[in-house]
A and B are shown apart, each in its own frame.
Chain A
Amino acid sequence: MMRRALPRRRTRLVLLAALAAVAIALLVAAPGAFADALTPESGGSPNADDIDTIYKITLYVAIVIFLIVEGTLIWSLVRHRARRGGPEAAQIRGNTPLELGWTIGAALILVVLTVVTFVYLGDIKNPPPSDPDGLASQAEFASVDQPAPPAGGGPYLNIQVNGRQYLWRYDYPGDEQLFSYYEMVVPTGTTVTLDVRASDVIHSWWIPKLGGKVDGVPGHVNKTWFKIPRGKEGTYIGQCAELCGINHADMRAKVRAVTPEQFTSWAMKTREDIRRAGAALGAQRKQRAKEGELE
């Protein structure tokens, strides 16, 4: 008996050790390898970072609850499976203190989550002022139609976003026309506020690293903002998140963040291009009208 029992116990020990090793390896690797798989996109804008923080706090609470529920469930199933000669099933019909306990416990957890949410809500909803080295100083882009000026007093760059099947259009402020499609160019260090509209069906503006979605609903204006810090220049991709027709999947969007200096020169060049294209169109129109092709 002893000789047979010993190797079996050893195999079990080896198995346990292996399992523990795998668990530890997973825990060590988790922050690096799995963090991205378990949390929302962030890193482009403070509102996306704050959402990520609320999510992570909730996730930690959730993991504890998940382990308690699955643990007791599996333990009950394994420990109390029917065996010959096992104990009689306990005829318990309830336990009021216990039931009150988990009801109040569940409610308290939700109170904590509510508090956490409201602590971060202000920073997610309200756009902060632009940084001193942002585009803020350039009055040309100052927006005057904001309902409440930012606390720091710095103006925003306000862009009108309009969704249509299957393209996003961005209109920049200023006396002279400046707009683009698909790719939105923005300066870093500057708070960018967006007024999101849609001109046909409902679309949803979403660049994951720059914060949450806002639906563009025909007949409504929806607002959001982002602020990409200096040093995080680059492209941020996203796409329409509300089923808007056959090519919904192809309604993609890109935000290209550049330094304020590069932005200013982009704006000048693009304005010039638009002006030139407008003039060329005008000339062509005049020519064709002369030839009798147009009224």
Chain B
Amino acid sequence: VEARSLTGRDLGGSPEIVLHARRERQGGWLDWLTTTDHKKIGIMYLFATFVFFIIGGAEALVMRLQLAQPNGTVVTPETYNGLVTMHGTTMIFLFVVPVLAGFGNYLIPLMIGARDMAFPRLNALSFWLLLFGGMAFYTSIFFDPPRAGWTMYAPLSDDSYSPTGGVDAWIFLIHLTGISSLMGAINFVATIQNMRAKGMSWSRMPLFAWTILVYSYLLIIALPAVATAVTMLLTDRHFGTAFFDPTGGGDPLLWQHLFWFFGHPEVYIMVLPAFGMVSEILPVFSGKPIFGYKAIAASTVAIAFLSLLVWVHHMFATPTATVVLAFFMLSSFTIAVPTGIKIFNWIATLWRGQIVFKTPLMFAAAVPALFVVGGISGVILAIFPVDWQLTDTYFVVAHLHYVLFGGSVFGIFAGLYYWFPKMSGRMLSESLGKTSFWTMFVGFNLTFLVQHSAGLSGMPRRIYDYSSDLHVGTYNLISTIGSFILGAGVLLTVINVLYSVKHGKRAGNDPWKGNTLEWFTQSPPPVNNFDVIPRIRSVEPMKDIRREVSAGVRAAETVSQPAAARSV
């Protein structure tokens, strides 16, 4: 093992060995199968979840084709209900939640200056359980997929109305991915609480690490509720219990309470880490520190806490006392305040900056632009008398996609463009990236903006066809055209990744002049991440290190490694 030492000036006694020139062992596929390295596990997470994203997206496009005009005949109602269920389940349980775990896995140890996650083997198990959960679920398409929607409301999901095994495959998925997420969450908590670099106090922790920490706590609190619910559904279906069956003394509303007690925190589980990525990316490209670091960190915690108190706003049309509805309207309102704080802080971060328009910045800046629409429609939906008109319509479909696609997925794409150079050592193509951004941005708004109007005109969600009497044909046609533009935009990024991973420009250690510690090491980082971990003196350690370099107290090689100097 040859270790090249690039010693800077003496910093507090001992010389630093900063760069590590040892090449990783190339073990082929067996190495991937047996790895416990957080970076390899992270990449496997990202690869697997993007495959599920493409599958879920294809399902959406088939639905859009069916709905392009009244009385569509592209698919049967059976297939359509299967697609509705598969699309929602895939995007939530197999894409957005685990893709964030993937980014967290790859980045958290690097960002906090750790050499791996706290429990590397548990980490590997998390990934494999996710994959097996996804596979168990998708095998159901070969016999009989579930058709009761991703919310799987009882009694429709009970054995009397869904007698085939599709719902059981879904229950398998919830349990396997649930255990995967729980173990992953415990791992993140242990890592972030115990393994931060010297000097990295809570107030110097990167905002992305804050959001992953909160994401993990939310998973630990929320997942047991859905695990309980699906176990009860399983025994209702197969062992004669009647938790959700009114003829046996049960209550269908119990399912909804348990499901949404998990389901609403789940929304913030999906959104907060994407917000964390935006909070990392905007300062780097505007050349400014993040505006109101403490307010952003505190609002993350506030949103997470409040998200546990709003679940009945999914049930405003059920037989529930008005005083309960009023409580849940007010609690839902209060979430708008910390969310608004985040959006204003992001804009203030851009204000008076020197904004460099690279692809990550564009995707990150799109997040507040699009999420504000989802936030506003969320406040409208929280007003329960208005919700009586809008719930279960395409207005809600539009709202949730502005939140989860406009908020999370655009954030995830920003993260992909920002951290791909670190993960692969190569840059993604800027021109292809920007084309992909604009195509996705236009396609997204075409698809989902008009869906508000479709819902307002009386189009319920989850219907396989609609009558021309509803006068929503034009909206649906625009939406279908938009969805294919959106799909093309996503495809451009896929092409970009596949091309650049082999042929992209060499990135070097720190192509964006980042703020956080992952840019201190090589791209891609060596197995042990860092030989020496610098002491953390602020929330922007890399700024401090660059300052030391320009002051001559640290060797320049420790932050920027020219591509030619890479050892081969």
Contact = CB atoms under 8 A, between A and B. Distances in A.
Interface of A: 36-41, 48, 50-51, 54-55, 58-59, 62, 65-66, 69-70, 72-74, 76-77, 80-83, 86-95, 98-99, 102-103, 106-107, 110, 113-114, 117-118, 120-121, 124-125, 165, 200-202, 204, 206, 208, 211-215, 217-223, 237-249, 252
A73 B350 contact: yes
Given A83-B354, A103-B341, 11 more contacts: A38-B452, A48-B389, A51-B386, A66-B373, A82-B355, A82-B356, A89-B288, A89-B354, A201-B155, A206-B458, A247-B77
B368 A69 contact: yes
Given A69-B368, A213-B317, A113 B383 contact: yes
Contact of B333 (A102, A114, A121): A114
B365 A73 contact: yes
Contact of B376 (A62, A90, A201): A62
A217 B318 contact: yes
Most chain B CB within a 10 A radius of its CB, from A36, A76, A83: A76
Q: Is the interface of B mostly helix, strand, loop or mixed?
A: helix
A73 B341 CA distance: 14
A59 B373 CA distance: 12
Interface of B: 77-78, 81, 84, 147-149, 153, 155-156, 160-161, 246-247, 251-253, 286-295, 317-319, 322, 326, 329-330, 333-334, 336-337, 340-341, 343-345, 347-348, 350-357, 365, 368-369, 372-373, 376, 379-380, 383-393, 452-453, 456-458, 460, 462-467, 469-470
Contacts of A118: 326
A125 B347 CA distance: 41
A41 B454 CA distance: 11
Contacts of B376: 62, 65-66
Nearest to A107: B337
Nearest to B458: A208
B319 A222 contact: yes
Contact of B340 (A80, A106, A120, A212): A106
Nearest to A39: B456
B153 A243 contact: yes
A117 B77 contact: no
Contact of A245 (B156, B252, B456, B466): B156
Contacts of B290: 93
B77 A246 contact: yes
A213 B388 contact: yes
B379 A58 contact: yes
A59 B379 CA distance: 10
- Most interface-central of A95, A214, A249 (chain B CB within 10 A): A249
B547 to A, nearest CB: 13
Contacts of A200: 155, 160-161
A117 B453 CA distance: 22
A218 B388 contact: no
Nearest to B318: A215
Contacts of B334: 110
B131 to A, nearest CB: 29
B350 A76 contact: yes
B415 to A, nearest CB: 19
26 contacts: A37-B457, A41-B456, A51-B385, A58-B383, A58-B386, A69-B343, A70-B372, A77-B355, A87-B354, A89-B286, A89-B287, A92-B288, A94-B293, A99-B295, A99-B341, A99-B345, A102-B344, A103-B337, A114-B329, A124-B385, A206-B460, A212-B388, A213-B391, A240-B460, A245-B156, A249-B77
Contacts of A121: 322, 385
A202 B457 contact: no
A93 B291 contact: yes
B456 A243 contact: no
From A70, A118, A202, A220, residue with most partner B Cβ within 10 Å? A202
A82 B386 contact: no
Residue of B318, B345, B385, B390 most packed against chain A (CB within 10 A)? B385
A62 B382 CA distance: 13
A222 to B, nearest CB: 4
Given A243-B148, A247-B77, A102 B388 contact: no
B407 to A, nearest CB: 14
B379 A62 contact: yes
Nearest to A221: B319
B242 to A, nearest CB: 11
B386 A40 contact: yes
Given A41-B458, A102-B340, A212 B385 contact: yes
Contact of A55 (B147, B149, B289, B389): B389
